[in-house]
Amino acid sequence: MFCAIVAGRAPASLVYRDPATLAFMDVNPVRPGHVLVIPTAHRAQIWELGEAESAAVYRRLPALASALKAAMAADAVTIFSLNGRAAGQTVFHLHFHLLPVHARDPLLRRRGRRVTFQLVQVRTARAELDALARRIRARLPDGAERAAGAP
């Protein structure tokens, strides 16, 4: 499914692209600004990724997380990846979720040793996703912003 986005056959609100990595808005975000970062090569799970492919994706995460935090005026950013059906993975093309978190609306709650994540997805219109993608792109370092190649 994400291969169709990589190939430009399916719509997506692009945040960043280079030959090895693509970042775009999640269509059902759990928070406004929810970004997915994927290798452009089809790899279902992280253990299928070669070292060079892994490095190419990981090296983009700091700038993407930083741009996301600034664009959403967030207090924090949570990054996670579900690998395997038992982990809850639903799209079998490796992806990292980048979630902006505000202190007033925490993602993670602790009660003693009980730790829970509050993840509720909200279907979001393409125009809103495009606007958020633009906001995040504008916070990327110059070269990276141009690399997104989106309007």
Q: List interacting residues with ligand 5GP (CB under 6 A).
A: 1, 12, 24-28, 82, 88-91, 121
In the numeric block, the tokens 């975000």 are attached to 29
**Which residue in 34, 42, 93, 95 is the catalytic one?**
95
What's the CA gap between 3 and 16, in Å, rounded?
Answer: 15
3-state DSSP helix/strand/coil % of the chain, to nearest 5 = 30, 25, 45
The verdict on whether 95 is a catalytic residue reads yes
Shortest spacing between CB 14 and ligand 5GP, in angstroms: 10
Shorter beta-carbon distance to ligand 5GP: residue 90 or 143? 90
Report in angstroms how near the CB of residue 132 gets to ligand 5GP at its nearest.
12
Q: In what order do the strands lie in the sheet with 96-101?
A: 14-17, 21-25, 35-39, 96-101, 76-80
Q: How far is the CB of 111 from ligand 5GP (least distance, A)?
A: 25
Residue 11: CB minimum distance to ligand 5GP, A: 8
List phi, psi (to 5°) of 47: -75, -5
H/E stretch holding 134 reads helix 126-137
User: Which two structure tokens, joined as six digits, stand for 45?
Assistant: 């799970």
So which residues are the catalytic ones? 95
